[in-house]
Amino acid sequence: MADSMITKQALAASIKELMEREPLSKISVGDITSNCGVNRQTFYYHFKDKYELVNWIYYTETVKLMSSFSDRAHWTDGLGALCRYMRDNKRFYINALSTPGQNSFQEYLLEFARGLVRSLAEGLLGESPIGEEDLEFIADFYAFAFVGLIMKWARHGMKEEPDGYILRVKEMTDASIHYALEKYKKE
């Protein structure tokens, strides 16, 4: 493994350990570097700030899980795997979901969910035309619902086994997305 990757992983482990005890807003770059024994310049060689480090963690840790549910046949399996992974890293992801703003984990999930819903909708539409604005509205609606449910689950301590509510989401989505697409189809 390249030295650069080892250093990034050490910084990631450090911030994750710190986020077990305190919110991201209270953690400084100095805290991160002193916790893992590297200097501040090393940190800035790899990341511009702590938010970029946290985003790197989101991307490297969840991309495989999220890509596993990028198709219609397996999206609920992937969503379940993501939730179980988040629960295995509970304190970090509860903290991450409570950190608002640009480049937050919430935004990361929202963008991915939008793409997923678009893909699901386009697969269901086939050759039937629908306006871009309508497709974006449907994607936003379901993406916000998915992320909202994940955030609620996290706020309640990730105690509930995610498979039960994911099944409920699938049942609601399967039924209602067909209706929404039919409603917005162009004649």
| SS3 state of residue 49 | coil
Distance CA 43, CA 60 (A): 17
Do residues 113 and 104 lie in contact, with contact meaning Cβ atoms separated by under 8 Å?
no
DSSP letter (8 states) at residue 27? -
pLDDT value of position 13:
96
Do residues 85 and 63 lie in contact, with contact meaning Cβ atoms separated by under 8 Å?
no
Q: How confident is the model at residue 178 (pLDDT cuts 50, 70, 90)?
A: confident
- What tens digit of pLDDT does each residue of 1-28 get? 688 899 999 999 999 999 988 988 899 9
pLDDT beyond 90 at 167: no
Q: Region 81-110: what's the mean pLDDT?
A: 85
Per-chain mean pLDDT for the chain = 85
Q: Region 166-171: what's the mean pLDDT?
A: 84
Instruction: Provide φ and ψ at 130, rounded to 5°.
Output: -145, 145
| SS3 state of residue 185 | strand
Better-scored residue on pLDDT, 30 or 161: 30
Distance CA 42, CA 150 (A): 35
pTM over 0.85: no
132-155 and 105-125 helices cross at what angle (nearest 10)?
Answer: 130
Q: Region 50-70: what's the mean pLDDT?
A: 81
Highest mean pLDDT (candidates 18-22, 101-105, 107-111): 18-22
Q: How confident is the model at residue 76 (pLDDT cuts 50, 70, 90)?
A: confident
- What tens digit of pLDDT does each residue of 147-164 get? 898 899 988 999 888 888
Distance CA 33, CA 179 (A): 52
Q: Region 102-125: what's the mean pLDDT?
A: 82
| Amino acid code (one letter) for 138 | I
Residues with Cβ within 8 Å of residue 3, at least 6 apart in sequence: none
| Short-list 93, 69, 96, CA closest to 80 | 69
Q: How confident is the model at residue 31 (pLDDT cuts 50, 70, 90)?
A: very high
Do residues 32 and 52 lie in contact, with contact meaning Cβ atoms separated by under 8 Å?
no
